[in-house]
Amino acid sequence: MQLKKGDKAPCFIARDTYNHSHSIPGEWNGPTLLTLYRHAGCPPCNLRLRELILAKPELDKYKLRIIAVFESPATSIEQDLAHSNVPFPVLPDEKRNLYKLFDVKPSISGFLKSLLIKPMPSIKAIFKYGYLPTFSEATAMMPADFLFNADGTVLLSKYGKDFSDYLQLDDIFSTLKEENER
């Protein structure tokens, strides 16, 4: 079942590319953004990752922990994200265990929409930033974002309908601001 505002996150412990464990809920005393991407060679995913990296200094003011998940093995993540210097944990999930746990699924219609109706994010990622696709791991998996408070309650959730459909940063910031004022 897809998560919505007010739901409790399913508990998990997973290891990042450096073999450090991460969990939700965990020992982190603040909000967490869990973002599930497609594969590490997905241009719109890399574009979103860049957006979060650039926003991280502002997000840090709210003590936000970001955890990124890719449906790729660690070796692909290290190769495809080497240009990014990602300042937060990246979890490889080649078997899609977290995708299943959070009910994130592939979508052929979302795949086609991304290619035929909304190709601009991919074009921008490829031609402006040089995020070249790797087709060997390409799937129809859709992205998903979840913003949790410290106890694992969902503050925001977004199940993407195409490759570039994520929570808007403005929504993340406004929710973090509201939580911070409580």
Predicted local confidence at residue 157, as pLDDT = 98
What does 92-135 look like in DSSP terms, one character per residue? E-TT-HHHHHTT--B-HHHHHIIIII--HHHHHHHHTT-----G
Predicted model pTM: 0.94
Predicted local confidence at residue 60, as pLDDT = 96
Instruction: Report residue 24 as tokens.
Output: 């939700």
Query: Does a structural domain hold residue 13?
Result: no
Instruction: Report residue 172 as tokens.
Output: 């993340």
Burial of 172 (0-12, 13-18, 19+ CB in 10 A): buried
Based on the structure, what is the number of domains in the chain? 1
Predicted local confidence at residue 156, as pLDDT = 98
Query: Does a structural domain hold residue 23?
Result: no
Contact predicate 72/137, CB 8 Å = yes
Q: CATH code at 89?
A: 3.40.30.10
Predicted local confidence at residue 144, as pLDDT = 98
Query: Does a structural domain hold residue 19?
Result: no
Query: Does a structural domain hold residue 132?
Result: yes
Per residue of the chain (182 residues), give pLDDT as tens.
Answer: 899 999 999 999 999 999 999 988 777 789 999 999 999 999 999 999 999 999 999 999 999 999 999 999 999 998 888 767 899 999 999 999 999 999 999 999 999 999 899 999 999 999 998 888 887 788 899 999 999 998 899 999 999 999 999 999 999 999 999 988 87
Query: Does a structural domain hold residue 73?
Result: yes
Query: Does a structural domain hold residue 157?
Result: yes
Instruction: Report residue 97 as tokens.
Output: 């265990």
Domain with 50, as residue range(s), is: 30-181
Query: Does a structural domain hold residue 4?
Result: no
Predicted local confidence at residue 134, as pLDDT = 85
Contact predicate 126/92, CB 8 Å = no
Query: Does a structural domain hold residue 116?
Result: yes
